[in-house]
């Protein structure tokens, strides 16, 4: 069994939960302690950890994100909305 999502079934809540779980794991805390409205840099992830997170996210999603996605969408909530919008765009293409 794989944890890759089916692109057509992706929701903002799923993305937010996935990101919160991954960040919480890296910070050794509970996902409930991660605010989706906090900026990624407030989590104290270094650039290598952010790159690993982005790669894991792309693997989970099954499609590539723009390299600037985390820069232009600097919170979990903003990135989740962008990802679902991008998913919808790809599904329509």
Residue 75 corresponds to which tokens in the numbers above?
Answer: 């919170």
Domain, as residue range, for 38: 7-92
- Residue 2 maps to a domain: no
Q: What angle do CA 67, 4, 58 make, to 5 degrees?
A: 5
Helix (H, G, I), strand (E, B) or coil at 28: coil
What pTM was computed for the model? 0.85
Maximum separation of any 2 CA atoms in the chain, in Å: 39
Considering its fold, how many domains does the chain have in total?
1
Percent of the chain with pLDDT over 90: 57
pLDDT of residue 9: 79
Return d(Cα 42, Cα 88) in angstroms, integer: 29
pLDDT of residue 30: 96
Residue range 83-89: mean pLDDT, rounded = 92
- Residue 37 maps to a domain: yes
- Residue 68 maps to a domain: yes
């Amino acid at each position: 069994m794989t944890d890759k999502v089916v692109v057509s079934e992706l929701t903002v809540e799923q993305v937010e939960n996935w990101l919160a779980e991954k960040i919480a794991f890296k910070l050794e805390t509970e996902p409930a302690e991660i605010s989706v409205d906090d900026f990624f840099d407030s989590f104290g992830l270094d650039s290598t950890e952010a790159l690993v997170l982005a790669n894991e996210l792309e693997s989970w999603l099954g499609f590539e994100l723009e390299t600037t996605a985390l820069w232009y969408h600097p919170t979990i909530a903003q990135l989740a909305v962008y990802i679902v919008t991008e998913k919808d765009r790809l599904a329509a293409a």
